Amino acid sequence: MDHTINDEFDYICKLTQANTGMNIFIKTSNNLIKEYKFPYLENPFFSSEDLCEQLFTEIEATAEIPFIKSLNNIEYYSCIRTAKFDFIMGPCVLEEVSNNLFYDYIKRHNVPLYLKKSLQTYLNSVPHYKKANLMNMSQLVYFLLFRKQINASDIEDHSQNITNAQENIDFELSIKRIKEQLHHDILLENNFNKYIKNGDVENIKSAFRNTLYIDEVGVATPDNLIRNDKNLAIAAVTIATRAAIEGGLHYEVAYSLSDILIQKIETEQEFVLVKTVERIFIEFATKVKNLNTTKYSQPINQVQQYIYNHLYQPLTLDKLAEQVHISPKYLSHLFKEEVGVTLSTYITEKKLEEAKIWLDNSNLSISEIAHQLSFSDQSHFIKVFKRNNGITPKQYRVSKVEK
């Protein structure tokens, strides 16, 4: 078809938007010329122009082959560059935006607390598709635009040439950077990610004992070597943080330890990269090891971690039992026996702890806090809060301000 914004092209874009639930953007090399956008899918950080510009950064050739790209490993877009215009369809998410993933995003992008709600509202509105579904939709759009068929494998190959959209992109890139600096393949040979997840402190120590402490070469001049080493150590903190969370460490504990270690890295005068990375990995692995040696069984640890990661969503006994592959009745009995409180009481306590964070650090209304933590309504939230704390949420907020 003629690649201009004619009636047929306009119809294809409107139909694609309506059936995918995703925005459609059309831009030339200099301007955004048309957008078909849902008001609730307004990215809180990027304007439409900036978003389109970022998605096509470093894309020079006019391949006219769709590619899948993400700017943050959460939202994904299907993009096509043609001779006359660029086509963008998105966003969608390829996995459920869990509390863990949400906090990780906030941490990595330094999102201020006052923007947390708008970001969460936005991400919860983004449609969820499997990667194969997004590929199929890209194939369909390609056919509608060009009247030609294309294989999903061609889109996959082109996407990998443009950007690595795999789930572990940050981990893989960080590993690569550290590996280059250490001039040794120990990080990959010894599976540090697995060791941290399993709390395997001894294997980490053994791996570093067998490491040849060679002179570090190649990636930095003497003037900026220390700064470069510190950046790599901070990358190691990122690796270890995520591995520890995957191993069951509560994200708040993991991120608190991350902040402490990064601060220590920045203030150290005498800095040795390999020894610092070893210390980082051991710190996180020890936390996981201590978690795994608590009095709770594995199913209960897993349930607690799932609750931590999904506080902003409705949590039911059936859903939690499904996560650990045991019957709801047995989970209810086991949880009360090991933890000492009922599962519903535990969930309520954790939601109220999160509510206090919002009351302490934001101007959100009581109703908004109740809604985002999935309480049935404001009255129920106030009643539960007062029952557990002796005062209402409003009284709690006032008391904190007075202090």
Q: What are phi and psi of 34, to 5 degrees?
A: -160, 140
Which of 292, 314, 330 is the last residue in one of the domains?
292
Judgement on whether residues 17 and 70 belong to the same structural domain of the protein: yes
- Pick from 272, 292, 312: which residue ends a domain? 292
The CATH number of whichever domain residue 303 belongs to comes to: 1.10.10.60
Phi, psi of 214 (to 5 degrees): -95, 170
Q: Tell me the C-alpha distance between 370 and 373, whole Å.
A: 5
Q: Do 140 and 20 fall within a single domain? A: yes
- What does the block give as tokens for 227? 């700064």
The verdict on residue 51 lying in a domain is yes
Q: Rounded to whole angstroms, how far apart are CA atoms 142 and 149?
A: 7
Query: Do 286 and 229 lie in a common domain?
Result: yes
Same domain, 18 and 157: yes
| Residue 127: per-residue pLDDT | 92
H helical segments located in 126-271: 131-146, 152-162, 169-182, 186-189, 192-198, 201-209, 225-246, 251-267
- The per-residue pLDDT for range 198-220, each reduced to its tens digit, is 889 998 888 887 654 433 433 44
Helix (H) or strand (E) holding 20: helix 7-20
292 contacts: CB under 8 Å, gap ≥ 6: 199, 247, 248, 301
User: Which residues lie below 8 Å from residue 277, measured CB to CB, with a gap of 6+?
Assistant: 178, 182, 232, 233, 236
Number of domains making up the chain? 3
Question: How many residues in total does the chain contain?
Answer: 403
Of the CA atoms within 13 Å of residue 178, those in its CB half-sphere come to 28
Question: What's the pLDDT score for residue 110?
Answer: 62
Q: Does any domain span residue 122? A: no
Per-residue pLDDT 10s for the chain (403 aa) are 445 568 889 999 999 999 999 999 999 877 888 999 988 788 877 788 888 888 887 665 566 889 999 888 889 999 998 888 899 999 999 888 877 677 777 766 666 555 677 787 888 889 999 988 999 999 999 999 889 999 988 888 877 654 443 334 444 444 444 444 443 444 444 478 888 988 899 988 888 876 544 334 334 444 456 777 787 788 888 888 888 888 878 777 788 788 888 888 888 877 788 888 889 999 999 988 877 666 678 888 889 878 877 888 889 999 999 999 999 999 999 999 998 999 999 999 999 988 888 887 777 889 989 988 889 899 999 999 999 999 999 999 988 766 5
Shared domain check, 323 and 239: no
If asked whether residues 180 and 287 sit together in one domain, one would say yes
Same domain? For 21 and 143 the reply is yes
- The one-character DSSP state at 211 is -
User: What is the per-residue DSSP string for 145-184?
Assistant: HHS----HHHHHHHHHHH---STTHHHHHHHHHHHHHHTS
CA-to-CA distance for 170 and 154, rounded, in angstroms?
A: 24
Residue 394 lies in a domain: yes
* CATH code: domain of residue 74: 3.30.450.240
Same domain, 376 and 334: yes
Identify whether 101 is part of a domain: no
Is the domain of 219 the same as that of 89?
A: no
C-beta atoms surrounding 360 within 10 Å: 12
Phi, psi of 32 (to 5 degrees): -85, 115
Domain membership of residue 75 (yes or no) is: yes
Which among 292, 319, 342 is the end of a domain? 292
The residue range of the domain holding 53 is 7-96+128-162
One domain for residues 302 and 374: yes
**Is 118 a member of any domain?**
no
Cα 383 to chain centroid, rounded:
33
Q: Considering the domain boundaries, does residue 185 fall inside one? A: yes
Task: Give yes or no: residues 22 and 133 share one domain.
Answer: yes
pTM comes to 0.44
User: Is 107 domain-assigned?
Assistant: no
Both 142 and 235 in a single domain? no
